[in-house]
């Protein structure tokens, strides 16, 4: 199963694609979608939307995972990040993909073993878990970590979803 992970951001959104077969994970690709800092917010959201559409069309993932975000000290930045995150959730959902969300601490705990791991530790473990991973930058590494987290937790989440559907 091909999985895509996203690390949302208005300036830079990281993405990473892996293939999961049983417990075996294989690196496929990673990168970022950047928006123009001089463009208006609406134009930047359009750029993000178009960039994510291109990535999904090129790599044809079967499921997506998005890192949840914490509230920043700056409410304006938090609001802009939330709007970018909305686009990151919307694009794969419109493509018909199931979209899972994971807290940053769970992603770090899954990949590194500690929910308070540093970015450098996450990058190192991503490279160890995905031999041959190019890992173009920290945002792409975080996105690959989200995809790895999803690969490890998707079975449990699927069972819970089926139980909840059966109960209704």
Active-site residue set: 7, 67, 139
Give the Cα-Cα-Cα angle 75, 84, 30 (nearest 5 degrees).
130
| Residues, the chain | 168
> 56, 135 in Cβ contact below 8 A?
no
- CA separation, residue 122 to residues 15, 101, 159 (Å): 15, 18, 28
């Amino acid at each position: 199963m091909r999985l895509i992970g996203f690390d949302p951001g208005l300036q830079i959104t990281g993405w990473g694609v892996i293939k999961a077969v049983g417990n075996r994970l294989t690196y496929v690709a990673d990168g970022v979608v950047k928006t123009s800092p001089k463009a208006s917010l609406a134009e930047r959201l359009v750029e993000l939307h178009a960039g994510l559409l291109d990535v999904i069309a090129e790599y044809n993932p079967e499921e997506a995972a998005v890192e949840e975000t914490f509230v920043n000290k700056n409410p304006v930045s938090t609001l802009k990040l939330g709007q970018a995150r909305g686009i990151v959730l919307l694009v794969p959902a419109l493509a018909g993909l199931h979209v899972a969300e994971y807290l940053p601490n769970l992603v770090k705990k899954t990949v590194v073993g500690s929910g308070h791991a540093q970015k450098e530790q996450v990058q190192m473990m991503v490279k160890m878990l995905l031999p041959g991973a190019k890992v173009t930058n920290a945002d792409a590494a975080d996105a690959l970590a989200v995809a790895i987290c999803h690969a490890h937790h998707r079975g449990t989440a699927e069972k819970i979803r089926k139980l909840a559907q059966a109960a209704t």
